[in-house]
Structure formats: structure tokens, C-alpha cells
Chain A
Amino acid sequence: MQKELAVSADQTLAFETDCHIFDGCGFPAPGLHSFVFKPMFTVGGFEFNKAMLLALLGSVLIVWFFWAAFAKPKVVPGKVQMVGEAGYDFIRRGVVYETLGKKEGEKYVPLIVSLFFFVWIMNLWSVIPLAQFPVTSIIAFPAGLAIMVYVLWVSLTFKRHGFVGAFKNFTGYDKSLGPVLPLAMTIEFFSNLLVRPFTHAVRLFANMFAGHLLIVMFTIASWYLLNGVGIAYAGVSFLMAVVMTAFELFIQAVQAYVFVLLTCTYIQGALAEHH
């Protein structure tokens, strides 16, 4: 199953060549090309590839699930509603209220809840049969979300503190630092305004990228080693592919959680009174 699906996941990989060890055929190692897809179809001059399709399908899935759960909610919930409420409450209480407080945070609950479930399903595509590609392992998707969060917290900072206040907020202005203040301010300025959005996006991207690479790597190896004495190694490789898939399930949820937690922390920084 795993191998067969990987074929459809990575068409540039050489499964169709039926390449095996001891056949005088080199290992078709996965690499950057595993994350690049041919356009599948074109709509009005716009080329759709697999990642885009999964992104759109993922959002449809989330809307579909929450529609089933919350479209006609009841005071005594059904099963789907109960699951939806559990997820909603987890993010609302566990992330938003924890960091921003109930009063300030209420406004951002829809954004954070949407972000979490969106990122999670984008990550989850990595292990869903037939899809098996984490959309977030293409930098454009996390980058888009990170830019959006960046714009939000920067504009919030200006709105809350005014121009000078926002500048102090970004640079961590603190008189008690004395002579090192200019240095500290410079570092803070770069760290907050330039590095932060980058790390925010890359943290998610790199985790998903590496995870996918590992799974693909062990999957291809299982197929490649399937010849002669290599069959024993293929078993080990396949086991590793299964283990990595389970591990990825965990990492996907954690990364989605970290992404929204950081978003909340940034917003909290923007709303906080500078001291």
C-alpha cells in the first residue's frame, strides 16, 4: 500500500522504472525534486498542481466537518458536535485564553481556531492515503500564513502604541540597559521585525519537509531493496517507514499547535503595555 501510494505521491521518483538493488541500478534518492509537481490541470490559464489541490481540498474538508458539527448545533450535542466542541474548546481555552486572556482574546478566537485546524489538515495530508504529501512542506503555504500573522501583529502594535510606542515595542526599549541599549535595540529590531516571520514560517515548513523526506526515503528504500538478500533490509526499511508515519502524526499536531501558540504570543506582545 505504502509503496504503491508513494508512486502517485512522487511522480518524478523512479518507481515506474522498477529499479532494484543488484540490478546495476542506482538508488533513486528523494530530494528537492520530491517536492515539485507537474501541473495537473489548468483553469483559465492558472496551473493547478497537487499541493494546491490538496490545500483547497483540505479547507473544504475542514469547512465540511465544522459544518456538520456546528451548522445546527444543539444544547445537548450529538457525536460530531461533541468532537467539534472538544477541538474548538481546546484551542479557545488552551491557547487563546491562556495567552491573551478571555477579554482581549475573544476577538482572535476565530482566527486562531481556523489557523490551527487549517495547518493541522495541511500537515495531515502527509499520511492520508493517496494524498501523502504535507502541503506545508512547500514554503509558500506556511509563508502565506506567517505573512498574514506578521501583518496582523505589526499593524496591531502600531494601532495600540502609536508610532513611537510601536518602535519601542519592536526594539524592546529599556532605559535601565544603559550603554548597551543601542546594541540591544538593534538586535531586538532585527530579531522581531525581520527574523521572526521567517522563523515562524520555516519552523513549520522545515519540520514537515524533513518528515516527508524521511517517510519517502524509507518507502523508496523498501522498494529499492526488494531484490535477493536485500529483502531482509527492505523489511527493516518498511518498518521504519511505518514508525516514521506514526511519529509524523504526532509532529503534525505539535507543529500546528506551535504555529498558533506563536501567533498568539506575537499578538500578545503587540497588545501588551510596554514597560
Chain B
Amino acid sequence: MHLAEEEQNPLVPPIPELVIGLIAFGIVFFFLWKKLLPNINKVLDERREAIEGGIEQADAAKLEAQQTLEQYKEKLAEARHEAARMRSEAEQRGAELIAEMRAEGQRQREDIIAAGHAQIEADRKQATQVLRQDVGTLATELAGKLVGESLEDHARQSRTIDRFLDGLEDGASRAEAAR
């Protein structure tokens, strides 16, 4: 209890404790200030840089991905364009072919028609030829029968037939013109 008598005022700091307290704090401060906190600060900075580096890398990767996408889109558009171009070309060629075929068909039809006309004309001419002979003979025979006598005068006979035939031809051509 003798100690209590020495120091009764708790607000008066005893010097030895004061000194020891400051020394104890000094030890802590010295180590933290000189070595340990600079140590950890360095690592914290490194970590921040690493994180920022990671972010930068991610940004770069993102940029690259974007570029690749861009390229891909470009190629796709190009391919589409090409396809469209080919299709239109094919359509055009198809149309051309059809037109060609149509023209060819038209030409062939005209040929056939022309050939047909020529044939008909030739047939008609032949028929006319044959008719001319046959009608003459028939008419003479008929006339002979009707008159009941043979016509001696050959010259007169022949003239009469020609006249008749001319009249016949005139009638035919008039009828054709009217048609």
C-alpha cells in the first residue's frame, strides 16, 4: 500500500511511464513507417496496376472482337451482294434465253407458214393446169353431145374454148380480189 501513498493524483503523469509509453509507440511507429507500410504500399500499387492492366487487356480483347465482328459483317454483306448479283445475272440470262427462243420459234413458224404458202401456190398452179386441160376436153365433149354433131372446124372450136376459159378466169380473180 505504500505505493498508493506516493501517487494519489491520477491526472499527474509519472515520468517513467511517460518515457516508456513514448518508447513503445516509437517502436511501433519506426517499424510501420520505415519498413512495413512502404512494403504494403508498393504491393497495393502493384495490385492496382495489375488490375488496371487486366482492364486494359479486356478492353483490347473487346476491341479485337469488335473488329472481327465488323470484318465478318462486311464479308457477309459482300457475300449477299455477290449472291444478289449472280441471281440478277441469271435472271437476265434466263430472260435473254427466253427471248431468243421466242424469236427462234417465231422464225420457224414464219418459215413453216411460208413453206405452206408456197406449197399451196404450187398445188393451185398444178390444179389450174390440170383443170384447164380437163375442162377443155369435158366442155368439148359436152358441147358435142348437146349439139349432136362433131365440130369439124378445129380452129373455131379452139377459139370458143379459150374465150370461155378467159371468162372463167376473170370471174375467179374477181372473186379472189373480193375475198
Question: Do chains A and B interact in one complex?
Answer: yes
Q: Could you tell me if A140 and B24 are in contact, using CB atoms closer than 8 angstroms?
A: no
Q: Could you tell me if B10 and A59 are in contact, using CB atoms closer than 8 angstroms?
A: no
Mark each residue of chain A from 1 to 45: 1 if its CB lies under 8 Å from any CB of chain B, else 0: 000000000001000000000000000000011011110000000
Number of A-B contacts (CB under 8 A): 126
Q: Known: A46-B16, A52-B16, A144-B22. Is A60-B36 also a contact (CB below 8 A)?
A: no
**In whole angstroms, what is the CA distance A138 to B3 when docked?**
14
A150 to chain B, nearest CB (A): 13
Mark each residue of chain B from 95 to 132: 1 if its CB lies under 8 Å from any CB of chain A, else 0: 00000000000000000000000000000000000000
Q: Could you tell me if B24 and A118 are in contact, using CB atoms closer than 8 angstroms?
A: yes
* CB-CB contacts below 8 Å: A124-155 with B: 135, 138-141, 143-145, 148
In the complex, whether A229 has a CB less than 8 A from a CB of chain B is no
A81: B residues at CB distance < 8 A: 40
**In whole angstroms, what is the CA distance A70 to B31 when docked?**
11
B17: A residues at CB distance < 8 A: 51-52, 55, 138, 140-141
**In whole angstroms, what is the CA distance A275 to B40 when docked?**
38
**In whole angstroms, what is the CA distance A51 to B24 when docked?**
11
Q: Could you tell me if B13 and A144 are in contact, using CB atoms closer than 8 angstroms?
A: yes
In the complex, whether A84 has a CB less than 8 A from a CB of chain B is yes
Number of A residues near B (Cβ < 8 Å) is 50
Interface size class of B (residues with CB under 8 A): 35 or more
Q: Could you tell me if B10 and A209 are in contact, using CB atoms closer than 8 angstroms?
A: yes
B6: A residues at CB distance < 8 A: 36
Residue B20 contacts which of A12, A52, A71 (CB distance < 8 angstroms)? A52
Q: Known: A70-B37, A88-B40, A138-B17. Is A148-B1 also a contact (CB below 8 A)?
A: no
Q: Could you tell me if B39 and A70 are in contact, using CB atoms closer than 8 angstroms?
A: yes
**In whole angstroms, what is the CA distance A59 to B32 when docked?**
11
**In whole angstroms, what is the CA distance A66 to B33 when docked?**
11
B43: A residues at CB distance < 8 A: 73-75
In the complex, whether A99 has a CB less than 8 A from a CB of chain B is no
A141: B residues at CB distance < 8 A: 17-18, 21
- Dominant secondary structure at the A interface: helix
Mark each residue of chain A from 195 to 229: 1 if its CB lies under 8 Å from any CB of chain B, else 0: 00000001001000100000000000000000000
Can you list 25 pairs linking A and B with CB atoms under 8 Å apart? A37-B3, A46-B16, A47-B16, A55-B24, A59-B24, A63-B31, A66-B36, A67-B36, A70-B37, A71-B35, A71-B36, A75-B46, A75-B47, A81-B40, A84-B40, A111-B29, A113-B32, A114-B28, A117-B28, A118-B24, A118-B29, A138-B17, A139-B10, A140-B17, A145-B25
* Residues of chain A at the chain B interface (Cβ within 8 Å): 12, 32-33, 35-38, 46-47, 51-52, 55-56, 58-60, 62-63, 66-67, 69-71, 73-75, 81, 84-85, 88, 109-111, 113-115, 117-118, 135, 138-141, 143-145, 148, 202, 205, 209
* Residues of chain B at the chain A interface (Cβ within 8 Å): 1, 3-4, 6-8, 10-25, 27-29, 31-33, 35-37, 39-40, 42-44, 46-47, 50
